[in-house]
Amino acid sequence: AGLAGLGRYLQIFVLVPAAVLLLVRDRSGFRLLAWSFVGLALVQGAVGVHQYVTRTGASYQGEDVRAVGTFGPQDVMGMATAVALGLVCAVGIALGRSPLRQRALAAGCALVLSAPLAFSFSRGAWIATVLACSVQLVLAGPRRALVTAAAVAA
């Protein structure tokens, strides 16, 4: 069991970062990586929404409604983390300098991903996602941040 665990940790903490380092050489490589995170989040989110609707998720306050995706009821934070990462990547693409069609698609994905994130019932993931997206918005420009804040407040 120890060697299998070591293998998993080597994959996660050595091989995956090395693969990312080799993949991300320029903006297009980074954009490809971000879209892959969005795709993963959409798949996990779809499974999570299905679990919420059919009441086959993990137990939450006595009901099996907590969306956990393919991670199972033992890892209730897995889907929330994956969806939050995908949502942050989608917001980053939407605020970036991609073609208009990609930005619109990314904004739509961000809106879609907000539902499974809500169904995860993870307040920590909600707070972290809101903070990360707020920082992205401020870094995209103060004018854009003010317009968005006014739209959200209205």
Give mean pLDDT in consecutive 10-residue pieces for the chain, a chain of 154 residues. Answer: 69 76 84 91 94 88 82 85 95 92 96 96 95 94 85 81
pLDDT on residue 76: 83
pLDDT on residue 84: 95
Distance CA 49, CA 80 (A): 12
Provide the residue type at 79 as one letter: M
pLDDT on residue 4: 67
Distance CA 45, CA 32 (A): 20
pLDDT on residue 124: 94
pLDDT on residue 85: 93
pLDDT on residue 110: 97
Whether 106 contacts 98, CB under 8 Å: yes
Look up the pTM and report it. 0.83
Distance CA 60, CA 62 (A): 5
